[in-house]
A and B are shown apart, each in its own frame.
Chain A
Amino acid sequence: MSSNAPYNATVDCPPTLTDRQVIDFCRNGFLLLPGVVPDEINRRVVDYLETVNDTYEPTPMMEQEWFVEGVLKNPEAAGAVRSLLGRNFTLPNIISNHRGPLPWPHVHGWHRDGGSLYTPKLEYLQVFYWPEECTDDMGPTEVLPGSHFLRTKAPLMAHYGKIAGTVSCAGPAGTIFLTVYGIWHRRTRATSGPRGVGQFRNLLKYNYWRTTAPCRDWRIEPDCDFNLINFDPPKPVAFEQFQGGIAAARMFCWLCGIEDEYTFRGGQCWPIVPTVRAGANQMGIPPSLKRDADI
């Protein structure tokens, strides 16, 4: 049966992220956009999930133009996706719903999703959307910032419990958060009683894909001095000193399309010395990112 859903359709829109915001995404591995989807769209989504398709894969919702326009092409979310994946990124072809009962006494195990790769390349994004408010007592997803650079295998993470420095992705209705696919995450315990229209926690999840080579075509900040920016993921995390920042810088260079310009030479070279005197270039900074480089 044919479908009018724009599965894998390519989309373009204005990028919304700046240089510093793209670097923050590389450092953290996620970006939270609270309440960006309008309430009217949120209500229609919840109604659809309650009355039309309450499965764990309500992909046919993409046949609804209001969903595609209001959620998948939401200007702030799609603008962030455009910034990170470049022009003509694709829309998803699968929509999952992590629909959970409330309350739910168990904490899900820490994991990275199946199919994860450890790479500086950002070929796709995993995106989540709360159509209804999700508070901290409703078992929101939590993520470990910077963990997209921490290598392990999901079955070897099952004994992990509380980790310092995690971030709750709780947010008001219409919140969207973008993640590097391999970031460590889990569903937390839901202590609340039933809430919302369906008395469930609905969390939609879908992927966008890159179709063009990476280049620095997001919102350029002419005053951004890449010598003075801290690339390290937030602490406390489990990195040997500077290793997280080096990995984040490598990802940023790949996104800029200057991967070939960057080799970490060791010692005190870019990006690990953001305390360098203003006006000086760190040793080893890629030529395209030097002060006074042509943009």
Chain B
Amino acid sequence: MELKQRVERCLERYRAGERIEADLTALLDAVSRPQRQSLLYLQASSSHPYSRAIGISIFEEGKDSEGVDAQGNFLYRSIKEALDDGWRIIKFPEMAAAMDDQNNYGLGCEFILERWR
């Protein structure tokens, strides 16, 4: 559960007159824990930051690295959808491969994104 949701839940319980000491202690532990970096790899059909994704993988605690929903659809269909969900680009597509214009390297244009939680 996101930290914000946990604080909201704690506040609701407080307003309802419930004891929230344990909740606050758990929240304190959560905010004291060093944040962890999550990584999202999106391979796109072009270097445009809003381009369509042709490949996806996510490395985040508790998530399947395939990056798909229960129906097998990409969690993010484009770079823009990932940006709108709070991901931040930390690496733009590699341009060195453009030096060899007669061959194709890797899987399209790869964006690497991060978020901390």
Contacts and interface: CB of A to CB of B under 8 A. Distances in A.
B55 A164 contact: yes
B41 A162 contact: no
A161 B40 CA distance: 10
Interface of A is mostly: loop
B68 A162 contact: yes
A237 B41 CA distance: 16
A197 interface: no
B66 A107 contact: yes
Interface in A214-240: 236-240
B54 A163 contact: yes
Interface residues of A, number: 22
A114 to B, nearest CB: 18
A150 B54 contact: no
Interface in A90-146: 107, 118
Interface in B65-105: 65-68, 72, 74, 101-105
B58 interface: yes
Main secondary structure of the interface of B (DSSP, over half): strand
B54 A244 contact: no
Contact of A151 (B41, B66, B101, B106): B106
B105 A160 contact: no
A238 B56 contact: no
A236 B67 CA distance: 18
A244 B102 CA distance: 10
B53 to A, nearest CB: 8
Nearest to A149: B104
Interface of A: 107, 118, 149-152, 156, 159-165, 236-240, 243-244, 247
Given A161-B67, A163-B54, 18 more contacts: A151-B103, A152-B105, A159-B41, A160-B41, A161-B41, A162-B57, A163-B43, A163-B55, A163-B107, A164-B74, A236-B52, A236-B54, A238-B54, A238-B104, A238-B106, A238-B107, A240-B101, A247-B104
Interface of B: 41, 43, 45, 52-59, 65-68, 72, 74, 101-108
